[in-house]
Structures are given as C-alpha cells and as structure tokens.
Amino acid sequence: MNQNVAPDMLVELRDFILDVNRMMEEKAAVHKLNEEVLVHLLDLLEEASHVHGNLYWLSLARINELAIICAGNYADNCEFGLVGDLLVNPRKILVHVRGGSQPIAKKRYTPLTEQFSHTAATRGGVVEWLITHTIVEIGTQAILPHLLERLKNSGLFHESYLAAIESREKRVAGLSAYLACQHFENQTAFTKWLQNACPEDRNLMKSKLCRFDFNLFGLLGADIRRIVDNPYFESIFLTR
C-alpha cells in the first residue's frame, strides 16, 4: 500500500478491502452473479482506489474473475443479450448535441434513431440529423473490457494471466456467436436440442461450452490472505 498514507488509514483501507472480498465470496455462485452485482462490487472497491496496493489490484482481478464466470454462464445458457452487456454494450454512452451545453445520456437498450425520433419525420431524416448534429462518446465501457484495460494498464500482472483472461473472453464471444448462428433462441431450445442430438454432436457441442470454474478466483483470494499475513509475500499473479 501507499507509504504516504497514515498507518491507521492503511489498516482501515485493508479491512475495507477485505470486507469487499468477503462480499465477493458470498456472491461466488453463478446463480447469484449478474451485471448489477458486479458493478456494485466494483463501485465499492473503487472507494479504496486512491491507494493502489497489491490488495486492491488482486481484488480488482477477483471481480474480473466473477465477471468472466458470469459471462461464460450466460453464454452456456444462450443469454446472448446478457453476454453483450458484460462484453460489448457500454454501460454509459453520452450524446453531445452541437450547440448544447450538456450531453444527453443514451438509453442503453434504445436505438439512437428511436431516442431522437422527434428530430425528423423519417428514420432517414433522424440518421442525417444525428450525423450532422451530434458526437457520440462512450462514457463507461462494458464491465469486462473496462476491467481488462485496468488490469493491463496497471503494469502489475503477468502477461500469462492477462492472456488467460483474453482467451476466456474470446471463448465467451465465440460460443455466443456460434450458438446464435445455430438459431438457439434460448436455453430451453438449446437443452431440447442436446437431449435429441446424437452422442457425437452432443459431445462436440459440450466441448465448446465455457463452464468456467472459480479456481483462479480462489487462488487470488488465497494470495490476498497471504499478503495480509505477510506484506512481503509475492503473488503468482503479479510481476512484483
């Protein structure tokens, strides 16, 4: 932790981060995880972000692990929209209207042409107005790219761990695209197909599923506990 912070404040921040980790562990089950839970955990942890010590960064990585597990579970169950919210769909988009003083927040699940339909009589007219009169800015990324960018920019994590994150995110995206192309509209349709498929097709499909476990989440937590007992402990996830 930052040596410029008073010792009593360091202890308070350490205990706060440990409390956030306990909350993570209470939510470490696929049926308890969703975007709202993940964002809440992230917002809590950010209250300690002014002291970027190893406890903070390993905790951030744990939230990222939960987010990957959640996205993988969504992909396995054909929840394509929910996968998109974690992986692609920005949490906040700001629309700057030329001549306006304040940006307008885009409604997350509403197309801009619908939100600004009042600006012209036709959809083509709305598109033209948007091109001419607005600049769109991503205010807050989807949580998975946001977390990966934070972990990369920290310069603290081993490349092998960052590569493992990217590999699993690509697996989630690839599985979602594959299942969508197979026209599985929901988990019920997918389960029905599995029940009726021949063993070879069933095994092939199951081999494509994510089915991520909580192993890395647990290992990160174990390193956090070791650092609490020994501030000089070197985590296997960190370069120093």
Condensed to tens digits (0 to 9), the pLDDT of residues 37-91 reads: 999 999 999 988 776 689 999 999 999 999 999 999 999 999 999 999 999 999 9
Together in a domain, 78 and 153: yes
Residues in contact with 223: Cβ distance below 8 Å, sequence separation at least 6, in sequence order: 58, 233, 235, 236, 237
Q: Is the distance from CB of 177 to CB of 83 less than 8 angstroms?
A: no
pLDDT of residue 2 exceeding 60 = no
pLDDT of residue 149 exceeding 80, the answer is: yes
Using an 8 Å Cβ cutoff, are 134 and 98 in contact?
A: yes
The region of weakest confidence among 4-18, 128-142, 150-164, 168-182 is 4-18
pLDDT of 227 > 90? The answer is yes
- How many domains are contained in the chain? 2
Q: How high is the pLDDT of residue 23?
A: 97
76 and 183 share one domain? yes
83 and 184 part of one domain:
yes
160 in the same domain as 72: yes
Confidence of residue 9 (pLDDT cuts 50, 70, 90): low
Query: At residue 119, what is the residue type?
Result: T
Q: 183 and 68, same structural domain? A: yes
Tell me the sheet residues that pair with 96: 135
| pLDDT over 70, % of the chain | 95
What contacts 87, CB < 8 A, 6 or more positions away?
Answer: 71, 142, 144, 145, 169, 172, 173
Q: Which of 109, 140, 171 is the last residue of a domain?
A: 140
Mean pLDDT for 4-16 is 73
CA-CA distance, 53 to 51, in Å (whole number)? 6
Asked if 107 and 174 sit in the same domain, the reply is no
Based on the domain organization, do 97 and 29 belong to the same domain? Answer: no
Confidence category of residue 13, pLDDT binned at 50, 70, 90: confident
pLDDT in tens, 113-139: 999 999 999 999 999 999 999 999 999
- Domain that includes residue 199, residue range: 7-87+142-229
Banded model confidence at residue 36, pLDDT cuts 50, 70, 90: very high
Assigned domain for 200 exists: yes
Mean pLDDT of the 223-228 span: 94
Task: Give the integer Cα–Cα distance in Å for 18 and 222.
Answer: 12
| pTM of the predicted protein model | 0.91
Is residue 103 a contact partner of residue 95, using CB atoms and an 8 Å limit?
Answer: yes
- The answer, yes or no, to whether residue 7 has pLDDT greater than 80, is no
- Mean pLDDT to the nearest integer, 91-101: 93
Q: Per-residue pLDDT tens for 171-200?
A: 999 999 999 998 898 899 999 999 999 999
Contact by Cβ (8 Å): 142, 86: yes
Measure the CA–CA gap between 29 and 33, rounded to whole angstroms: 7
- Report the pLDDT averaged over residues 149-159: 96
Chain center to CA of 86? 5
For residue 1, what pLDDT band results from cuts at 50, 70 and 90?
Answer: very low
With respect to residue 1, please indicate whether it lies within any of the assigned structural domains: no
Mean pLDDT (the chain) is: 93
Residue 235 lies in a domain: no
Residue 239 confidence (pLDDT): 92
- Beta carbons of 158 and 238 less than 8 angstroms apart: yes
